[in-house]
């Protein structure tokens, strides 16, 4: 049952899932969930802002999980463990921002609080009066006499996520426009650059003072230490690839150097036959679902290969192939997941890179699996996209194709499920589909 605006209900001091939900369709803006941890109505630092570019709070109490689209019903989720919220924090704001329009064009907007272990609903608020707002505070957790409550808020901002963030004390990264320094002026009646007239005063340091040989010069105090650099402001920009807008230039987004991290995180929201559920992750025979993030590469000199956990082919970051797999994760957690790093300092050495994922064990297909891919350049906006629902018996999915174009790298969303033929490995299947032309031998972890 939906709560009326302004009402509140008690919630358990435990791990909770907060879902922002709406119905998508043509012309419907995208939306993103976020959270702010407040002390006396303000954040203590920019680290108290949890959203798509900063998905985990330092305390571990709040995490941004990501989106799921099931038949046009979209959810973006946060995990909030109230038992881990620091004692000083009085309020956790639960907000949303719209991308590509106002919330008046987002149908069926709601927020609900679920028990993360059981999946049972604790509270729900349906927003029905949004209009021009591009950021919305849908609800909040707050402390009362040592316990936690949830309040349905439903108040918005027409200034977007930036307006919401700055209202609570966040420093937002935005272009700064400064006037150019004034040109130096010559003294009146004297052309610039001419030597000074005899006896004229010249602005500048005074001449050095001579001291007798028997008198040591005074000891000068060391210059004061420079002030500590202020923390980097929060960057709100991002790029979400969709079927309608599937590609982006890394150069146009500022991603021209340094390492670009490619992250895959996942969760299983439905239970398979014979499976149990462990904190939102599906498990089969007490083993976690194991997905492997991989990359096929072709360098500009014609060399080809694969980076993957299978066969311990983890690659290298500072020598060919300039791609490195960080490790083999079995949780899919947003704080870790599977990670590849691509060295953009060597972007001229790449001809093409295909990022793909295979199921190593724990499931027979990607059905009921929700996965999010994020490409995070050291400089520039992050690029993310979610996988569509899988309706075929696929064990390998091509995620993104990165190709060289006149010195630029273009990221193309693939999100393409492939079905291996009988006796053909997932790696060989994706090779055939994209014409890599490599020879494959069996391998193991």
The per-residue pLDDT for range 116-163, each reduced to its tens digit, is 988 899 999 999 999 999 999 999 999 999 899 999 999 988 888 888
With 70 as the cut, is the pLDDT of residue 58 above it?
Answer: yes
Q: What per-residue confidence (pLDDT) applies to 328?
A: 57
Tell me the three state secondary structure of residue 19: strand
Q: What per-residue confidence (pLDDT) applies to 220?
A: 61
Per DSSP, the chain holds a count of helices (H) and strands (E) of 2, 27
In whole angstroms, give the CA distance from residue 262 to residue 431: 20
Q: What per-residue confidence (pLDDT) applies to 361?
A: 85
| Unique residue bearing structure tokens 């059981």 | 118
* Number of Cβ within a 10 Å radius of residue 149: 15
Q: What per-residue confidence (pLDDT) applies to 348?
A: 93
Task: Reply yes or no: is the peptide bond before residue 398 cis, omega within 30 of 0.
Answer: no
For all residues of the chain together, what is the average pLDDT?
82
Q: Regarding predicted confidence, which is higher, 223 or 308?
A: 308
Strands 396-405 and 259-268: unpaired
Q: What is the mean pLDDT of residues 326-335?
A: 54
Q: Are the CB atoms for 306 and 438 separated by under 8 Å?
A: yes
Cβ neighbours for 349, distance < 8 A, ≥ 6 positions apart: 299, 300, 301, 320, 322
| Strand order across the 15-23 sheet | 62-70, 73-81, 15-23, 110-115, 121-126
User: pTM for this one?
Assistant: 0.60
In whole angstroms, give the CA distance from residue 64 to residue 86: 18
Q: What is the mean pLDDT of residues 359-374?
A: 85
Query: Among residues 136, 381, 345, 161, which one has the least CA distance to residue 250?
Result: 381
Q: Which of 26-40, 42-56, 278-292 has the lowest mean pLDDT?
A: 278-292
Q: What is the mean pLDDT of residues 53-69?
A: 88
With 80 as the cut, is the pLDDT of residue 444 above it?
Answer: no
- Measure CA of the first residue to CA of the last residue in the chain; give whole Å: 49
Instruction: Give the CB-side neighbour count of residue 50, counting CA atoms within 13 A.
Output: 27
Q: Report CA Rg, the chain.
A: 28
With 90 as the cut, is the pLDDT of residue 426 above it?
Answer: yes
């Amino acid at each position: 049952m939906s709560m009326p605006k302004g009402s509140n209900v008690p919630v358990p001091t435990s791990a909770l899932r907060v879902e922002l939900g709406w119905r998508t369709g043509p012309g419907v803006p995208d939306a993103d969930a976020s959270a702010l941890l407040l002390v006396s109505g303000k954040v203590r630092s920019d680290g108290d802002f949890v959203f798509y570019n900063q998905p985990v709070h330092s305390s571990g109490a709040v995490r941004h999980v990501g989106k799921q689209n099931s038949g046009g019903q979209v959810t973006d989720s946060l995990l909030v463990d109230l038992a881990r919220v620091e004692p000083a924090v009085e309020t956790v704001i639960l907000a949303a921002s719209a991308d590509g329009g106002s919330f008046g064009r987002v149908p069926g907007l709601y927020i609900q609080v679920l028990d993360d272990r059981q999946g049972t609903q604790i509270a729900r608020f349906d927003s029905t009066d949004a209009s021009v707002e591009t950021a919305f505070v849908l609800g909040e957790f707050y402390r009362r006499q040592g316990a936690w409550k949830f309040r349905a808020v439903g108040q918005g901002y027409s200034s977007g996520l930036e307006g919401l963030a700055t209202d609570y004390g966040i420093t937002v990264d935005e272009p700064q426009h400064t006037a150019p320094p004034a040109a130096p002026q010559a003294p009146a009646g004297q052309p610039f650059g001419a030597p000074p007239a005899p006896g004229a005063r010249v602005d500048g340091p005074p001449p050095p003072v001579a001291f007798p040989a028997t008198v040591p010069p005074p000891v000068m105090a060391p210059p004061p230490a420079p002030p500590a650099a202020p923390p980097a402001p929060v960057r709100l920009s991002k790029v979400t690839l969709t079927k309608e807008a599937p590609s982006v230039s890394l150069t146009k987004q500022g991603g021209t150097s340094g390492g670009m991290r490619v992250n895959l995180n996942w969760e299983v929201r439905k239970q398979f036959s014979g499976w149990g559920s462990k904190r939102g992750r599906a498990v089969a025979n007490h083993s976690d679902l194991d997905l492997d993030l991989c990359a096929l590469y072709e360098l500009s000199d014609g060399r080809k290969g694969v980076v993957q956990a299978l066969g311990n082919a983890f690659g290298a970051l500072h020598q060919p192939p300039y791609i490195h797999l960080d490790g083999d994760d079995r949780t899919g957690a947003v704080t870790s997941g599977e990670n590849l790093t691509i060295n953009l300092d060597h972007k001229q050495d790449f001809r093409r890179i295909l990022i793909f994922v295979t199921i190593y064990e724990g499931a027979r297909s990607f059905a009921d699996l929700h996965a999010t891919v994020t490409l995070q350049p050291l400089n520039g906006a992050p690029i993310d996209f979610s996988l569509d629902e899988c309706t075929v018996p696929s064990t390998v999915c091509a995620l993104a194709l990165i190709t060289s174009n006149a010195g630029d790298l273009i990221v193309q969303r693939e999100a393409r499920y492939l079905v291996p033929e009988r006796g053909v490995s997932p790696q060989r299947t994706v090779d055939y589909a994209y014409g890599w032309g490599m020879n494959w031998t069996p391998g193991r972890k």
